[in-house]
Structure 1
Amino acid sequence: MESINKDLFKTVSEDRKKTHEKARPSFTYWQDVWRRFKSNKLSIVGLVIIIIIVLFAVVGPIFSKFNYYTNDYSSANLAPNGTHIFGTDNLGRDLLTRVMWGGRISLTIALVASIISFVIGIIYGGISGYFGGTVDNIMMRIVEGVASLPLMIYVILIMVIVGQGMASLIIAIALTYWVDMARIVRGQILQLKQEEFVLAAKTLGASSKRILLKHLLPNTMGPIIVNLTLNIPNAIFTEAFLSFVGLGVPAPQASWGTLCSNALGSYQMYPYQLLFPALALCVTMFGFNFLGDGLSTALDPKMRK
């Protein structure tokens, strides 16, 4: 076999190697979203806060040796101590356990109501924005009619029909929060349906249902996710307000708003009874708002570098 002449080859210089290196690693859209999200310290702080609060509310009661409903008048209004870390209320119930259960109720109501409003809003807003014209006008007039009624009216009417409890709060909050979601989705659809990829899908014979579900709605997920994230703390605050004025879950159940309302009459003598549920409510609100702001920045294509 004829030997290869080594003089025909030469070692590539380091400068020549660098010309073939990538300017930066390539990322998918969601990888790039995560990269921008984790670079925002407040976003990570918000995510950590939410994880801690969820564990506190969901897992915490499992390890508590007290329950939220048993009265012990001999231990009423105890200050925080080694046995009752958050103290006790006027009926001798462990306040830490009640704050945990209150968090479970508040988070459940807010999360379920937000998911229901999310589903209704994207379907309603998607149909309205895609078909436009008379359909859009009629559907938007319905939205304006729903938005014109105060939340309190929905709550009272639903409580008359369904009764007081978590279900009535979830329905009332969902019936008011889907309106904003529908408006956001409609605006995004009105803008996106003019794009060329929609025209291409129509040319290929795609049905309106397929265009809406496969092409338009997935491209609106950024604003939708941000709005959903910010809706949850709003729903928590709304539920707390309704519980504070006596329209919350029935006793002995208690959300954070109910605990604050119960403690208000004696907060000067027992300030800890108001401090701990109010602090849990505030920290949760901050956590979701930090997370929402971070997602808003991370999901914005204009921020991509």
Structure 2
Amino acid sequence: MENTNNINKDLFKPVSEDRKKTHEKARPSFTYWQDVWRRFRSNKLAMIGLAIIVAVTLFSVVGPLLSKFNYYTNDYASANLSPNLTHPFGTDNLGRDILTRIMYGGRISLTIALVASVISFVIGIIYGGISGYFGGAVDNIMMRIVEGVSSLPLMIYVILIMVIVGQGMTSLIIAIALTYWVDMARIVRGQILQLKQEEFVLAAKTLGASSTRILVKHLIPNTMGPIIVNLTLNIPSAIFTEAFLSFVGLGVPAPKASWGTLCSNALGSYQLFPYQLLFPALALCITMFGFNFLGDGLSTALDPKMRK
């Protein structure tokens, strides 16, 4: 072996400053999620959507704690008051403060939408992951079940569940979750079908990894981008679905009220008292815009093709 002490040191010289600059990084190194946040933060509409969602959540969760009114006490002497200092959004036909009822309605609407979306998220990931990974006969059978579930209208699920469980938040959550998991399962299945052909999956199989470990540790984490986007867009869709069901009388029972129920109650007298319909409808629209802006921003930020 050659002795390194005999190397001629004259053959070496310090690197010049100009040479160093050629090896400097063109930009700071970011992890995938850091780059996602950087792109998301640069999207003004996405940040506006995030701000709206935070504001609506605080409005619905903290607001009722600061109000001196509640959502159920009738005050017939104050019925149908126009917006004023005591009642900024006015009162309804039973004298209840509309602002407070919108706050409580936001709790109900957001809770139903979030819980139903999370349930569909979990079911869709598990179902779609198994279907896409195993393929073949398993995939064919599972997809036929998906087609059967999606072929039935939402209203049928709602009516059947209300007959069994009764009217209320639980019925709405179950009905929405039973229909929304189908789209999530299809998205996850499509992503898994593409990713399971990749070399890292073959390497994991070669090393003896079980199917469960490959799905949980390797495949599903690599599908989180489209899944998160779909989840974010499912929430406003679930809010609108809940509002529609409440509007037609299939929502939470009185005196509780969601935004859809408030709109339905105000519809009969909106020509005389338009503010009773305006404010809950405005709360619903603003929330829908917020989640849609957030979902569009996440879709762009999570797209690997957008990374520079």
TM-score, scaled relative to structure 2: 0.95
**2:194 aligned to 183, 187, 191, which one?**
191
2:203 corresponds in structure 1 to 200
2:106 to 94, 103, 116: 103
In 1: Cα distance, 2:74 partner to 2:91 partner: 10
1:215 maps to which residue?
Answer: 218
**Aligned residue type for 1:66:** F
Q: 2:50 matched to which residue of 1?
A: 47
1:259 matched to 2:262? The reply is yes
Cα shift readout 1:183-233 (whole Å, capped 9, x = no counterpart): 000000000000000000000000000001110000000000000000000
SS at 1:79 equivalent: coil
What's the counterpart of residue 128 of structure 1? 131
**In the alignment, is residue 249 of structure 1 matched against residue 260 of structure 2?**
no
Of 15-24 and 53-62, deviating more is 15-24
Which residue of structure 1 aligns with residue 140 of structure 2?
A: 137
| Cα distance per residue 1:103-140 (max 9 Å; x no partner) | 00000000000000000000000000000000000000
The alignment yields a C-alpha RMSD, in angstroms, of 1.2
Q: Does 1:181 align with 2:184?
A: yes
Mark the runs of 5 or more structure 2 residues left unpaired by the alignment.
1-11
Find the counterpart in structure 2 of residue 289 from structure 1.
Answer: 292
Matched, 1:24 2:30: no
Between the aligned partners of 1:11 and 1:159, the Cα distance in structure 2 is 78
Structure 1 CA distance, aligned partners of 2:223 and 2:24?
35
1:19 CA drift (Å): 2.0
Percent of pairs identical after alignment?
88
What SS does structure 2 have at the residue aligned with 1:249? Answer: coil
Cα deviation for residue 44 of structure 1 reads 0.2
Corresponding residue for residue 229 of structure 1: 232
Verify: 1:155 aligned to 2:158, yes or no: yes
1:5-59 alpha-carbon deviations (Å, 9 max, x no partner)? xxx988944x344223211100000000000100110000000000000000000
Partner deviation per Cα, 1:71-125 (whole Å, 9 max, x = no partner): 0000000000000000000000000000000000000000000000000000000
Letter in 2 for 1:35: R
Equivalent residue in structure 1 for 2:279, among 267, 276, 280: 276
CA distance in 1, matches of 2:287, 2:65: 21
The CA distance in 2 between the partners of 1:136 and 1:90, in whole Å, is 55
Cα distance in 2 for partners of 1:10, 1:298 equals 43
Q: Secondary structure at the match of 1:35?
A: helix
Shift in alpha-carbon separation, 1:17–1:166, aligned structure 2, 3 A = same
2:261 is paired with a residue whose SS is helix
Q: Does the residue aligned with 2:140 lie in a helix, a strand or coil?
A: helix
Letter in 1 for 2:297: G
State the aligned residue count.
297
C-alpha distance in structure 1 between counterparts of 2:14 and 2:225, whole Å: 51
Change (3 A) 1:94 1:129: same
Distance 1:256 1:11 in 2: 69
Measure, in 2, the Cα distance between the counterparts of 1:198 and 1:17.
40
Residue in 2 aligned with 1:5?
none
Residue in structure 2 matching 1:66, options 65, 69, 85 = 69
- Structure 1 gaps, min length 5: 1-7
Give the TM-score of the pair, scaled to structure 1: 0.96
